[in-house]
Amino acid sequence: MTPRFWAVGALVVLLAGLAVFVVAAVPWHRAPAPRTDQLAALEQLPREQVARARAFHGELRPMMYVGLALGLLVALVLGLTPIGARLVELAGRPFGDHWLARAVLGGLAVVLVTELATLPLAVWRHTIVVRYGISTQTWAGWAVDLLKSYAVGAVIGGLALAGFFTVTHFAPRWWWAFGAVGAAGLVVLLSFVLPVLVEPIFNRFTPMPDGPLRTELLALAERDGVPVRDVLVADASRRTRAVNAYVSGLGPTRRIVVYDTMLTEATPEEVVSVTAHELGHAKDNDVLTGTIMGALGAAVAVIALYLLGSWGWLLRLAGVDSIGEPRAIGLLLAVTTVAGLVAGPAQALVSRRVEARADSHALMLTGDPETFEAMQRRLGSVNLADPDPPHWEHVIFASHPSTVQRMAAARAFARGAR
């Protein structure tokens, strides 16, 4: 039996396992609150707030769609023409066309072309968020953060490219198996190390001072049965007015993180409410669930890429002989870009269901639907969230329930409690 036969079998098993895991782990039964409750919540929001939020998103929307189209176009040009292969060759030439130089430098060059093509859109977006008062960053601060993100992406991407093409170089017939295991392992590793190593690059974290709020947050976590290492405050105000809090890390690295903007813009009760939501993610092991789904998805992607390598017409378009050679990096980018766009709505649906469960957890843990609803109004107001976005856009892109859906859920919980 050939490696291709085993690859097909492994792909079928992994897809079946992923499907079973998603069905079992995702709370599919949590439907949004009744539309009548959503409309009633929308009517109680200040009209000027709703109008400002919709104007903000109305200005962002064209940029978002242009960015998607431009990113797809650049990926297809680099991947479905010999341009991508030629770019990889040029990047490796100063190093004697060594396959590892082509893999790492060529891959980073291909990604850099895509980033530069969409850079004007990032500038456009920053202009809008500054004008609406969401961003507090100067252009210098914004540029530094952008360079930091490029650097982090280059390090992680370079290591991934080196590992992937080392496997394809030394195991040309069975690279799909070693690559699938390696990709899954990388996803798991990053879930542990990113919060510890990468988050401090962009924010400074300081322990929350002793006081009633810190005591209450730690007591809330203990009552919920979620051990946390510490309560930290992130200096988010140096770049944004947006408010947020989250529980970061897995196991011994888990900690509650609160934006400093949250401490100034929200009441202590609202901070407790949003923290209860984040504890819900930890309680239900949502980070672990996402890591497992990501690991299985990465393994599926590697095997699917191997099988695509038998499509001769695709290789001819890219001007390469094998999908496992570094010159095919542009083709890999094109395939993964298309796959990401296709899978996006399904990923958004899963995320919304998980977020809705965390909302329910917060309501049950605190027993305070009024504060939960006030918190959602606060988040929507400060972050300029569209409280009731167009349905089709919400279905395709939204990772969270809308503001009115969450407010309506709180009202439904209050009726049930009464």
Annotated binding site for Zn(2+): 277, 281, 355
Q: Which two tokens stand for residue 370?
A: 């009024």
d(CA 403, CA 389): 9
The Cβ of residue 61 has, within 10 Å, a number of other Cβ atoms equal to 14
Cite the DSSP H helix spans in 29-106: 35-44, 47-79, 83-92, 99-101
Residues 308, 314, 315: CA angle, nearest 5 degrees: 90
User: 190 and 248 in contact (C-beta within 8 Å)?
Assistant: no
User: 242 and 261 in contact (C-beta within 8 Å)?
Assistant: yes
Q: What is the DSSP letter of 34?
A: P
Phi-psi region of 251 (alpha: psi -120 to 50; beta: other; left: phi over 0): left
C-alpha to C-alpha distances, 19 to 24, 335, 399, nearest whole angstrom? 9, 21, 20
Q: Which of 256, 271, 260 is nearest to 212 (CA)?
A: 271
Cite the DSSP H helix spans in 80-98: 83-92
d(CA 61, CA 65): 6
Q: Which two tokens stand for residue 124?
A: 């456009």
Specify binding-site residues: 277, 281, 355
C-alpha to C-alpha distances, 174 to 1, 3, 12, 136, 222, nearest whole angstrom? 13, 6, 17, 51, 48
User: 27 and 353 in contact (C-beta within 8 Å)?
Assistant: yes
């929001």: which residue's tokens?
45
Task: Work out the burial of residue 312: count CB atoms within 10 Å of its CB; fewer than 13 is exposed, 13-18 middle, 19 or more buried.
Answer: exposed
Catalytic residues: 278, 359
In the chain the first and final C-alpha atoms are separated, in Å, by: 65
The Cβ of residue 326 has, within 10 Å, a number of other Cβ atoms equal to 28
Q: Which residues pair with 248 in a beta bridge?
A: 255
Question: Amino acid identity, residue 145?
Answer: D
Q: Where are the beta strands (DSSP E) in 92-219?
A: 205-207
